[in-house]
Amino acid sequence: TSYLPRVFVTRSAPAAGLARLGQHCHMTVHEKENAPTREELLQGVRGMDALFVHPSTRIDKEVLDAAGPQLKVIGTYSVGLDHIDLDLCKERSIKVSHTPGVLTTATAELAVTLVLATAKRLEECIRAVKEGVWGTRWENALWLVGKQISGSVVGIVGLGRIGLAIAERLAAFGLSKIVYTGRAPKPESADPIGAEFLSFDELLKQSDFVIVSCSVDESNKNIFNTGAFKKMKPSSIFVNVSRGAIVDQKALYEALKSGQIGAAGLDVTTPEPLPPSDPLLTLPNCLVVPHIGSLTDSTRNIMCELVVDNILAGLEGRPLLSPAF
Ligand code: 8YV
């Protein structure tokens, strides 16, 4: 009898991709709405040959030990890899794949949405109309005054695939300039829009919009701290579509509350989900959406197909389509 490889899926994913995986593997899906608890995870991974994981699930030594030495491949349903101990996977010859490229457009569209929504104070506007405040305030000519995007300086933190796609879309608004920061300046071929490379501090100083689209690891955790927000313009808008961990959220709260910066639009927070009692949600100038960057009809299906293709490749000993290392 032939052995069917065993796969654990940590959270449900689009049906077509999972069905295909199920044809080749003995598949266990954690069907609940929420990510598995640590206990459910440690139990679920036992004896698995492959794991289909999401960013909400941390894959560290304890999880790899619990899985056992037969574990061959981990496919994450994300471009971000911050939840996986990649060094240990390498050391143990466990292959790891992610989903770069296929979610670039969806995530860039969301970043542009957050830029527009925060600049035009959309959430406050909608609430004012619904709560009947419109009729009492509109004679004040500057009530709900928004921010013009044309003529502004846009600063991108991480001009990778997603950062570039954001910059290209915002360029259509007629910006004064686009600047970026990152580990090193990009070669001209990787920067078709001719963005200007600046140090982190200089970007904070010059930008009207600071947009974070980089990957996050130990090296850039909490770089948006009190000191960073102090360097930004009081009118500036902070947009984050990467990971909450790049921000000291208490410092962000203080900066928004005191007017050190103008507004924030966040797709990512610490923790996720953000509890409704979080102080950030009491601020009129902070817009939070529930990590929907890649959440479009077409993108999520393609992401799932790519995870499945990677897992099957890994199980069959073929090279991965989109390896993490
Ligand atoms: C999530 C993401 O993977 O790609 C990433 O890094 O954070 C998102 O696309 C998605 O929300 C599924 O959990």
Q: Which of 57, 58, 62, 59 has the alpha carbon at shortest distance from 73? A: 59
Q: Is a pLDDT exceeding 60 seen at residue 123?
A: yes
Distance CA 308, CA 162 (A): 23
Q: Is a pLDDT exceeding 70 seen at residue 1?
A: no
Pair of tokens at residue 217: 């690891």
Q: CATH number of 104-288: 3.30.1330.10, 3.40.50.2300, 3.40.50.720, 3.90.1200.10?
A: 3.40.50.720
Q: CATH number of 6-100+297-315: 3.30.300.250, 3.40.30.10, 3.30.750.210, 3.40.50.720?
A: 3.40.50.720
Q: Determine the Cα angle at 104 with ends 24 and 253, to 5°.
A: 115
Distance 56 CA to ligand 1 centre (A): 9
What's the burial of 323, exposed, middle or buried (CB within 10 Å: 0-12/13-18/19+)?
Answer: middle
Distance 76 CA to ligand 1 centre (A): 9
Distance CA 252, CA 173 (A): 27
Q: Best mutation site among 76, 78, 296 for ligand 1, i.e. most ligand atoms within 8 A of its Cβ? A: 78
Predicted-complex ipTM score: 0.97
pLDDT per residue over 255-306, tens digit each? Answer: 999 999 999 999 999 999 999 999 999 999 999 999 999 999 999 999 999 9
Q: Is 291 in the pocket of ligand 1 (CB under 6 A)?
A: yes
Cβ neighbors of 162 (< 8 A, separation 6 or more) are: 79, 104, 107, 108, 111, 213, 241
Q: Which residues of 241-272 are buried (b: 16+ CB within 10 A; e: fewer)?
A: bbbbbbbbbebbbebbeeebbbbbbbbbbeee
**CATH 3.40.50.720 spans which residues of the chain?**
6-100+297-315, 104-288
The H or E element spanning position 27 is strand 26-29
Which residue's C-alpha comes closest to atom 6 of ligand 1?
Answer: 80
For the chain, the C-alpha Rg in angstroms (whole number) is: 22
Distance CA 97, CA 74 (A): 6
Distance 293 CA to ligand 1 centre (A): 7
Q: Are the C-beta atoms of residues 64 and 94 closer than 8 Å to each other?
A: yes
pLDDT at 140: 87
Query: What pTM, to 2 d.p., does this model score?
Result: 0.97
Distance CA 265, CA 257 (A): 14
Distance 44 CA to ligand 1 centre (A): 21
Pair of tokens at residue 254: 């203080």
pLDDT per residue over 142-173, tens digit each? Answer: 999 999 999 999 999 999 999 999 999 999 99
pLDDT at 154: 98
Q: Is 35 in the pocket of ligand 1 (CB under 6 A)?
A: no
Q: Is 160 in the pocket of ligand 1 (CB under 6 A)?
A: no
Cβ neighbors of 317 (< 8 A, separation 6 or more) are: none
Catalytic residues: 291
